[in-house]
A and B are shown apart, each in its own frame.
Chain A
């Protein structure tokens, strides 16, 4: 779950070095625009928001190229058409209720033994066979996919690298320009984004944002939004029991406890959530 679980803390990691007890205080400061931390964050936001100038066609070309790198790294899609269709149905169900419902999304289960999920710009979303195998119902799958849709909707990967922003001035990328000067910028942007998506992970705030988006779109769709919390709790258990943390998402120490705590607080915004659908049987039939 690179997107979900790996974190590049870089410039925004002001608060992370402090003890986790004061973590929430630090986050509180970030949200106050007048605080020192708030000013740093808003400065960062200004730099990051410039990705809005990359058009959809270019975004999609970046995404597909990154998807090719992702497949080489994590493995090809599993050969189970019923499962792949199912994941596309669940993913589309939450995507239509996301903050960016106007672009096409595609979903695929990759034959990877590492619990992992990631999204590339433009709407291609991958989830590993190993991650699907720890889920128990359709609402949990919907939550994972909705989290990834949240990253796409907020263009988190594009906002994560300086070089992606260099593309904003070059206009639409075409097949011809991929080979030329624009192509060099294109290739280096993809290289940087690979580092973020597959190695370092996204910024912590982006993960929080995608978690909140997952609650919102699962709830809107009619899935029990607390499924997102259940997924993170499963990962927490795995993290605690895993001996081999190297190379997996365990190695980056995602603050699962903080994410769970935040989600639990946000869940209060969704009255009657526990009466919503989990759809255990269909999930068991298709994804097991």
Chain B
């Protein structure tokens, strides 16, 4: 029986290899994406993955995919956070992406948004445009406040969690 058993293992390994060859590629498309230990938003983070990272799909479980990165990290990712084509590469300048220069700074900005002026607001170019056009100051100030509002990754996560949205949806339909 020992031979049969090793044969089964060999066949299983071969099948796994064949499957691996036919495995599909995906690209991380959502900012702030993490691979999870299990197919659940509440499970532990295995690794953070940047937008544009290519991953191989190992397994599919409903809205969750088990994937492996080029660096060999494996974990589960919510299907909405990856796409079938690579996202356009782009550098947004000093802000460094949608979540700005990181969570800590975002939170500082959020805290300061209500008080007088922000760290980041109207760009000097737009301020110059406003000056040349004689745009009333009230609009400049209003836009400055709008531009200073930042949403941090952690704040967004809490928001989605509270609304039972996406990876935080309750199994029986979520908050409808």
Report which A residues bind B (CB closer than 8 A): 56-57, 60-61, 64-65, 67-68, 71-72, 76-77, 81, 84-85, 88-89, 92-93, 95-97, 99-106, 108, 124, 138, 173-176, 178-179, 183, 186-187, 190, 219-223, 275-282
Contact = CB atoms under 8 A, between A and B. Distances in A.
Given A76-B138, A222-B166, A68 B98 contact: no
Nearest to A72: B139
Interface residues of B, number: 60
A93 B160 contact: yes
B150 A104 contact: yes
Interface stretch (B2-10, B14-22, B68-76, B80-88): B80-88
Contacts of B32: 96
B24 interface: no
Nearest to A223: B165
Contacts of A95: 98
Contacts of B129: 61, 64-65, 68, 178, 186-187, 190
B151 A179 contact: no
Given A101-B51, A281-B175, A96 B125 contact: no
Contacts of A64: 122-123, 125-126, 129, 143, 147
B29 A97 contact: yes
A89 B146 CA distance: 13
Contact of A65 (B89, B97, B126): B126
B146 A100 contact: no
B124 A175 contact: yes
Given A61-B125, A179-B128, A221-B165, A103 B90 contact: yes
Given A95-B98, A108-B146, A173 B167 contact: no
A247 B116 CA distance: 36
A72 B140 CA distance: 10
Contacts of B92: 56, 102-104
A277 B30 contact: no
Interface in B106-125: 114, 122-125
Nearest to A217: B80
A93 B124 contact: no
Interface of B: 29-32, 51, 79-81, 87-93, 95, 97-98, 100, 114, 122-130, 132-133, 135-136, 138-140, 142-143, 145-147, 149-151, 155-156, 159-160, 162-169, 173-176
B135 A72 contact: yes
B89 to A, nearest CB: 8
Given A173-B125, A175-B125, A279 B51 contact: no
A95 B98 CA distance: 8
A71 B136 CA distance: 11
Contact of A96 (B31, B123, B138, B164): B31
Nearest to A221: B166
B164 A277 contact: yes
A104 B97 contact: yes
A99 B156 contact: no
Contact of B81 (A56, A76, A220): A220
Given A104-B92, A178-B125, A275-B173, A88 B149 contact: yes
